[in-house]
Structure 1
Amino acid sequence: MWLLALSKDVPCRFVNLKSTQISVWNSLNQSERRCESLPRSCGKTSALTSEALPRCLLRQTRRLRRPSQAKDRRMARAQSNLRQHSNIAEIEYTTPTPHCGVAFLCMSYNTRMPESDIFVVKSNGARERFSFEKLQNSLKHSGAPDELAQEVSDHIQKEMVNGMTTDDIYKHAFAFLHSRENMTATRYSLRRSLLELGPTGFPFEKFIAEVFKHRGFSTLLDQTVQGKCVDHEVDVVAWNDSKLIMAEAKYHHELAYKSDVKVVLYIKARFDDLYASTFSYDGHTKLDEGWLITNTKFTDKAIQYAECSGVRLMGWNYPAKGNLHQLIEETNLHPITSLTTLTVGQKRLLMENGVVLCESITKEKAKMRELGLNERLIEEAETEAHRLCPI
């Protein structure tokens, strides 16, 4: 509950009443509601800022900041304006008391905006209704316990305004998580960490090769292989005892980018040429599977065509079973960009020198020293890497 005091001699003040103070206020009648009737702690003036006030109140009350004679019509006008906001639960006001000439406008409000009223702007510019349930599921999937997920959701709800971007929501959630549980915050940021495997895309190709290695495959990067008609540059070639896979790694540096049906058509044509050829990879002579792997998503038409034509797709959340997100969690492989102890520049320097995985920190400490990282930073990065990716 917020209390607004207006008078000729006292500057406009907002006071956030605690539950015990609200009880005191509610127990008083109109004549008793004067200055000395309020608990002393209510005498402190809260700064009129977005941190101290609900945003919907801020716009309606800025004009009331000037000290002036409190009049019934002025209070009634403020009351009428404030009632237009759906998260104001109750408004009550008094006339100026003879004792101190102060009129009070008392407001209780719901701190959460109704979910049906909130639309957010996605990274591609599209607007959609925001779902707090979806936010909580994402947090829980990152390892946040139910209580912490609810706490983050409550924090976000207090900050929410209509038209907020999903990027801003992510930053709020990540900062709050990082202050409470660093490892959960790191896992929550995994998708964004993959975006930092740029700008060339080669670290992403190496990362995909490492995922295949941890699943028992031998791998080669950047291979030029001969198809039936022409030769092709293949990002990743992977094989084990039972199959030979060739993969195109499509890296995007923004979440809004998706691989569309044109990309799948192009990859399908290349794979058709490769399927008709023969190879020599530890006894494998024929290509068994052609994959298109991206760090973001596919359009619906791209998925529809791939499922019809037999092209294997792997994206952040596609297919439902065996997608990139799940593979990273199953293999416990996290890119070095997930670490919060290193700066963006330090991560990029390490990737340029072949250090792509968190688990490589221990093996590559000598290289890190050569690159100018001090012992304390190396130790902190190693500790965080071991917590994130236990060996």
Structure 2
Amino acid sequence: MNEQFEVIKSTGEKAPFSLNKLKASLKKSGANDQVVEHIVQIIKNELYPEITTEEIHNRAFALLKRERSVFASKYKLKKAIYELGPTGFPFERFVGQLLKYSGYTVEVGQTVQGFCVKHEIDVLAENSDRFILVECKFHGDKTKKCNVKDPLYLHSRYNDVQKRWNGTHGKKPLKEVWLVTNTRFTADALQYGKCAGLFLLGWNHPKNDALKDRIDRLGLYPITVSTLLTKREKEFLLSRDVVLCRQLLGDRFFLDHLGISDTRKKRILDEMNMLCTHNDLENAND
């Protein structure tokens, strides 16, 4: 098959098909080289010019799920983040947990008095020497990006809060401000963020330390990645602020509330364990 053809991205734009990108995404699922090559060969034989990336993703997901559900769960990470919507509040909880497991003490949904007005803060994070103000920008539309208005607005809020905080509070200083999104940033947003000293964390930014990288590195997968939980069950857990697979492992009684059988419960918890423990997943491929 000639690999020199174009695929249609979720934005509607055309892009060259990349076999290496397909292999890399399959490898991230935890599947070994043999499984990856097998799936790649199947997909290569089914490709046609201007196929959508969504069709390719769905086919790869189905083939991974046939091999092992945990591979498919890891592969659908990006889609699973979108499934935290539509309100955006579960995403704030998710970002809070991401910071918590990175060593911060966190508070979600706080009201803080600024110099001029009060501000609703999505996540307030604290470590040994400082506080960090975190704004979460959730988009349910895959084609939408965070534009320059978002860091501009956040920067003005941060300045107002910091002016009062560092001037009158006998607390650790407020020294950082983060803008976290499940999508991408426009070039102007990135440029302004860099110029203003904001930390921007997006799906693919910064390079090698983006949202997707941090999730994989820490094993902090949202419960929406599960291929074994139903949509109703996921919504029930999210409504009770259970956003991470790791949380469900610690709060297993929620599965009893859902009336899940012991056999199915074991399968779900085994999947959660595999997602949260990299070594187990690697050993499963040996």
Paired position in structure 2 for 1:359: 246
What's the % identity of the aligned pairs?
Answer: 38
Paired position in structure 2 for 1:203: 90
Paired position in structure 1 for 2:151: 264
- What residue identity is the alignment partner of 2:143? A
Cα distance, 1:176–1:268 mapped onto 2, change above 3 Å: same
Distance in 1 between residues matched to 2:37 and 2:259, nearest whole Å: 42
The alpha carbon displacement at 1:283 in A equals 5.9
Paired position in structure 2 for 1:42: none
Query: TM-score, normalized by length of structure 2?
Result: 0.90
Paired position in structure 2 for 1:108: none
Cα distance, 1:133–1:367 mapped onto 2, change above 3 Å: closer
Q: Secondary structure at the match of 2:171?
A: coil
Distance in 2 between residues matched to 1:199 and 1:376, nearest whole Å: 31
Contact 2:86 2:140 in 1 (8 A): yes
Distance in 2 between residues matched to 1:335 and 1:361, nearest whole Å: 10
Distance in 2 between residues matched to 1:122 and 1:377, nearest whole Å: 36
The alpha carbon displacement at 1:140 in A equals 2.0
The alpha carbon displacement at 1:130 in A equals 1.2
Distance in 1 between residues matched to 2:81 and 2:112, nearest whole Å: 28
Contact 2:72 2:227 in 1 (8 A): no
Paired position in structure 1 for 2:137: 250
Paired position in structure 2 for 1:189: 76
- Deviation by residue 1:253-273 (Cα, 9 ceiling, x = unmatched): 232221111212111211121
For residue 20 of structure 2, the aligned residue among 121, 125, 133 is 133
Contact 1:278 1:285 in 2 (8 A): no
For residue 183 of structure 2, the aligned residue among 277, 296, 307 is 296
Distance in 1 between residues matched to 2:115 and 2:197, nearest whole Å: 19
Q: Does 1:159 align with 2:36?
A: no
The alpha carbon displacement at 1:360 in A equals 2.1
Q: Does 1:214 align with 2:104?
A: no
Paired position in structure 2 for 1:41: none
The alpha carbon displacement at 1:213 in A equals 0.9
Contact 2:233 2:258 in 1 (8 A): no
Distance in 2 between residues matched to 1:377 and 1:182, nearest whole Å: 13
Cα distance, 1:368–1:145 mapped onto 2, change above 3 Å: closer
Distance in 2 between residues matched to 1:285 and 1:243, nearest whole Å: 5
Contact 2:96 2:108 in 1 (8 A): yes
Q: Secondary structure at the match of 1:288?
A: strand
Two-structure CA RMSD over aligned residues (Å): 2.0
Deviates further, 375-384 or 325-334: 375-384
Contact 2:129 2:173 in 1 (8 A): no
Distance in 2 between residues matched to 1:270 and 1:342, nearest whole Å: 39
Distance in 1 between residues matched to 2:179 and 2:256, nearest whole Å: 37
Paired position in structure 1 for 2:257: 370
Paired position in structure 2 for 1:286: 173
Paired position in structure 1 for 2:277: 390
Q: Does 1:223 align with 2:110?
A: yes
Distance in 2 between residues matched to 1:141 and 1:368, nearest whole Å: 28
Structure 1 segments unaligned to the other structure (5+ residues)? 1-111
Q: Does 1:336 align with 2:228?
A: no
Distance in 2 between residues matched to 1:303 and 1:379, nearest whole Å: 44
Contact 1:260 1:299 in 2 (8 A): yes
- What residue identity is the alignment partner of 1:320? K
Which has more radius of gyration?
Answer: 1
The alpha carbon displacement at 1:236 in A equals 0.2
Contact 1:277 1:286 in 2 (8 A): no
The alpha carbon displacement at 1:279 in A equals 6.4
For residue 317 of structure 1, the aligned residue among 180, 199, 204 is 204
Moved over 6 A (4+): none
Q: Secondary structure at the match of 2:109?
A: strand
Cα distance, 1:321–1:227 mapped onto 2, change above 3 Å: farther
Distance in 2 between residues matched to 1:267 and 1:181, nearest whole Å: 42
The alpha carbon displacement at 1:384 in A equals 1.0
Cα distance, 1:181–1:380 mapped onto 2, change above 3 Å: closer
Contact 1:140 1:146 in 2 (8 A): yes
The alpha carbon displacement at 1:231 in A equals 1.2
Contact 1:333 1:358 in 2 (8 A): yes
Query: TM-score, normalized by length of structure 1?
Result: 0.67
For residue 235 of structure 1, the aligned residue among 122, 138, 161 is 122
Count of paired positions: 277
